[in-house]
Amino acid sequence: MNIQQKSTPKQLIKNLSRILPRRFLLHRPSVKRILLQLLGLMFGLQSITIIILQAISIRRKRHQPQGTFPHQHLPTVHVGENKVQIYDYGRDLYDAMLAAIDAAQETIFLETYIWKGDAIGQTFKEHLARKAAQGVEVYVIYDSFANLVVPRKFKVFPPEMSVLKYQAIRSPLHIFDPRRYALDHRKLLVVDGYTGFIGGYNIGQLYASMWRDTHLRIEGPAASHLAQSFISFWNGHNPKHRRIRRHYPRRFDPLINVRETNSLRLTFPIRDMYIEAMQLHRLSESRNSCIWLSSYAACQDMYHRWSVVNHRHCQP
């Protein structure tokens, strides 16, 4: 009769050592090694992304159509104590932005998602550098990820300019925080806290004549809200010695309200504003009106709500 003897822990380890490589048993993965591997993976993915974006950029330039598209020249409108103007053509917008930069006396706040290193981008850089050399406080924010394909030499600025290359993920631990995957998609220019530009246009030759978007110019007290929004973002991502000390007082304006999303605080008032407007429209008694929504991208929840409202209220 055969009796199978139960193996002891020492015997199990001895048997495993015969099967598995000795290196596997001796070297246990440490926290440091795991973090280094994660960092290597992150930089590897970033390198692959740069290569893909470069290939797309080269292909787009080869097949890029020439010319322009029909656009309007809308007049300036007075809204309370402020003057507002809408731009839907990049070249007109850039001319107005450069004129405002040249007229700056105190401060220039520029924040953009994409800043191309082409002729248009270089023009903005030169105008900003000139004003900084004249003593105007110039602060610039651009998104690091969105400008990976922009040449490094273009992203070298004069020491008179204060520049923040925004990077959401600055630590390996940030990889596990979904809030850190939000990019800085804002396009904002504020001059002297009194003249502001905000909208969807990035900076580059492509957007000057071949890109349809919308931008708004605000001239008046309401622009101080844009200035303080920039200052809050800048101070929140810089050490104390680089923080902006200047303050532009804000006051309530019932005609112009500035709302901003903050992913780190999980506040999304802009999305809620759209949804609230749709719900109010649905509750109204009007049956002969429609909701017109133009968006580069829309979340699934908002698109579903819009579809329901549009189906119920838009009649031929």
pLDDT tops 80 at residue 284 = no
Predicted pLDDT of residue 134: 97
Rounded average pLDDT over 186-197: 96
Terminal CA-to-CA distance of the chain, rounded, Å?
A: 91
Residue % of the chain over a pLDDT of 70: 76
**Residue whose structure tokens are 């839907």:** 88
Task: Measure the CA–CA gap between 276 and 153, rounded to whole angstroms.
Answer: 46
Strands (E), 49-134: 77-79, 82-87, 107-112
Predicted pLDDT of residue 214: 93
Predicted pLDDT of residue 263: 76
pLDDT tens profile 62-94: 666 556 778 888 899 999 999 999 999 999 999
Q: Which residue has the higher pLDDT, 284 or 191?
A: 191
Predicted pLDDT of residue 1: 47
pLDDT tops 90 at residue 23 = no
pLDDT tens profile 37-66: 777 777 777 778 777 877 776 676 666 655
Task: Measure the CA–CA gap between 97 and 84, rounded to whole angstroms.
Answer: 14
pLDDT tops 70 at residue 20 = no
Rounded average pLDDT over 142-147: 90
pLDDT tens profile 245-262: 999 999 888 899 888 887
Predicted pLDDT of residue 308: 46
Predicted pLDDT of residue 51: 79
Task: Measure the CA–CA gap between 62 and 236, rounded to whole angstroms.
Answer: 41
Task: Measure the CA–CA gap between 108 and 162, rounded to whole angstroms.
Answer: 10
pLDDT tops 90 at residue 219 = yes
Q: Which two tokens stand for residue 111?
A: 């924040």
Query: What pTM, to 2 d.p., does this model score?
Result: 0.73
Question: What's the chain's average pLDDT?
Answer: 81
∠ CA 115-121-123, rounded to 5°: 150
310 — pLDDT class (breaks 50, 70, 90): very low
Rounded average pLDDT over 137-166: 94
CA 245 to chain centre: 24
Predicted pLDDT of residue 74: 87
